[in-house]
């Protein structure tokens, strides 16, 4: 049984093409990645709203797409929020990609993501933990930083 970590993408990004692991700038993403490295998993992937399942070293351009429910007053111009049908299709694509990289029935997945990123994929993964479940944004960052030392 291998250990696979899935980290959600975030809205704060660099403004140029770069490796996926370097594109996302928020403290939540950086703390998630540090926590993931500390666990020394077999593989780490990013759950990208646009690119689906991303390898950390894949070079990509910045984008403005999310699965999260962003309040109107916090939306940036040009932000694309996937609707429920698009989220289901996104989940299918992620599972197809993940199935080529991991054993969905036997590997253990640690998911560092919000519910909108988890819901479309969770029914297809047999063994998973969600250490951030029930934590708000600031609480997530604190948990990750405290446990990545």
pLDDT value at position 96? 98
Beta bridge partners of 43: 4
Q: Is the pLDDT of residue 148 over 90?
A: no
- Report pTM: 0.95
Q: In 3D, which of 87, 100, 123, 127 has the Cα closest to residue 2?
A: 127
Task: Summarize pLDDT for 14-52 with one digit per residue, the tens.
Answer: 999 999 999 999 999 999 999 999 999 999 999 999 999
Summary mean pLDDT of the chain: 94
pLDDT in tens, 112-121: 999 999 999 9
Q: How many domains does the chain have?
A: 1
What is the pLDDT at residue 75?
79
Q: Where in the sequence is the domain holding 92, given as residue range(s)?
A: 3-147
97: tokens are 């990609």
């Amino acid at each position: 049984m291998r250990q696979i970590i899935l980290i959600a993408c975030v809205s704060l990004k660099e403004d140029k093409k770069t490796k996926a692991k370097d594109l996302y700038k928020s403290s939540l993403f950086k703390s998630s990645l540090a926590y993931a490295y500390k666990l020394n998993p077999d593989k780490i992937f990013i759950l990208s709203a646009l690119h689906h399942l991303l390898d950390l070293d894949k070079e990509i351009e910045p984008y403005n797409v999310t699965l999260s429910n962003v309040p109107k007053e916090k939306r940036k111009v040009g932000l694309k929020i996937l609707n429920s049908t698009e989220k289901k299709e996104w989940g299918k694509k992620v599972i197809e990609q993940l199935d080529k990289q991991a054993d969905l029935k036997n590997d253990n997945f640690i998911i560092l993501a919000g519910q909108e990123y988890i819901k479309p994929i969770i029914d297809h993964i047999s063994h998973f933990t969600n250490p951030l479940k029930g934590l708000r944004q600031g609480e997530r960052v604190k948990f990750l930083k405290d446990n990545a030392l």
